[in-house]
Amino acid sequence: MIISPDRFLADLEDLGRIGWVDGEGMDRPAFSPSYGIARKFVEDRMKDAGLAVTVDGVGNIFGTLDGSDPSLPAIYAGSHLDAVPGGGKYDGPLGVMAALEAARTIREKSLPLRHPLVVAGFTGEEGGEMGGTFGSRAFAGLLEEPMPAEKLARVGLTPEGVRSAKAGPGRIACYFELHIEQGPYLERRNISVGIPTGIVGISRYAVRLEGEANHAGTTPMKERRDAMREAAELLSEWFAWTDTRDDFVCNVGVFSLHPGAVAIVPGRADFLLEIRSLKDSVMDEIAAKFRSFLEKRKNVSIFMEPVVRKGAVELDPLLQTAVETACEEAKVSSVRMPSGASHDANPMARITRAGMIFVPSAGGISHSKEEYTAPEDLARGADILARAVLEADRRL
């Protein structure tokens, strides 16, 4: 390996202690006290590595290593520092600390680097009040609408700070992100590195079925307008149909009943339907298909409204080749594959070339305290990232 695996793994482990709660997992949401401590940790490590450190108006942190040609735009590499409640240690921080290790390696070994290299630690990727990929969307200038000052003030931000976070034109040559796979594909095939070809789009819909609340003991079964029963039958039929397709996935992870009492027939059922696909056209097709299933429910009133839309993106072929070349140099097995989860690379791909590197997730588990990737896989991913940055520097 060209990196120092022991140093890299020690730093990653130290960062993983910040916000960790034994038995519960990570407690490090964006803008929280533990998040601030984590960002300070990364800032200190960047300074120790000789990088020039800046923090922008939304809390993204950047550490810059100068290249030999200051006229060239920068290669960015990184990920996010926040975590989902009860999550693991590697989702996001792996990419930030690996990018830092790449910069340290290049500087210490005086490896040739024409472009500046910027290590990026984005804020708010995991969602919350500001929405997912908040920091990278602000950096890419992709926030959909001006955010209310009161909402920003609750997390210590200002409208002016959000506007100032947008990257200047011609500033970015490309963006790399190393990430745990968060799925079982690599582990099941005993492949060391995944090279994502694209990132799925995500559509979410708020769905409501309204029947009639009534006494659960005195209302005959055949006379009920039971919203829960209608929703259960709908979703049973729907998921039987979804098993016939392999070009999308969908989920119902939030479901509620009203009034929610044991002796009352549910008068209303609300849930969120999520659809993911590598093709926006497929997401639209599946949403229309679900609506056709919904419209068959004649015993209730129905509502379906879009609440989230993130388009799918293709990742850059040149950067995929750079990662592939890095794997060949290191004699590491690799495969091209899609990404089923959203990442900071999604908004970044809309303003520059973007590429990703995946390493195996044990059991395909993520967003859980049981999230685990073997140390050798973590270090191997960091090594491939450093090699890919150097390869892209030569090609761009």
- pLDDT tens-digit series, residues 354-381: 999 999 999 999 999 999 999 999 999 9
Determine whether the annotation assigns residue 367 to a binding site.
yes
pLDDT tens digits for range 165-178: 999 888 999 999 99
| Residue 177 pLDDT | 99
Measure the N-to-C terminal CA separation of the chain; round to a whole number of Å.
Answer: 24
Give the residue carrying structure tokens 């990920």: 79
Determine whether the annotation assigns residue 258 to a binding site.
no
Determine whether the annotation assigns residue 343 to a binding site.
no
Q: Which helix (H) or strand (E) holds 78?
A: strand 74-80
| Residue 179 pLDDT | 99
Instruction: Give the mean pLDDT of 252-269.
Output: 97
In the chain, domain spans: 5-199+313-395, 201-310
Least confident of 58-72, 116-130, 201-215: 116-130
| Residue 69 pLDDT | 98
Kindly tell me if the per-residue pLDDT of 145 is higher than 80.
no
Handedness of CA 141, 77, 181, 17 (dihedral sign): negative
Chain-centre distance of CA 330, in angstroms? 27
Class of domain 201-310: alpha beta
Determine whether the annotation assigns residue 126 to a binding site.
yes
> Would you list the DSSP string of 359-376?
E--GGG--SSTT----HH
| Prediction pTM value | 0.88
Kindly tell me if the per-residue pLDDT of 350 is higher than 80.
yes
The span from the CA of 127 to the CA of 91, in Å, is: 13
Q: Do 343 and 125 touch, CB atoms closer than 8 A?
A: yes
The span from the CA of 226 to the CA of 230, in Å, is: 6
Determine whether the annotation assigns residue 115 to a binding site.
no
Q: Which CATH architecture best describes the domain 5-199+313-395?
A: 3-Layer(aba) Sandwich (3.40)
Instruction: Give the mean pLDDT of 302-318.
Output: 95
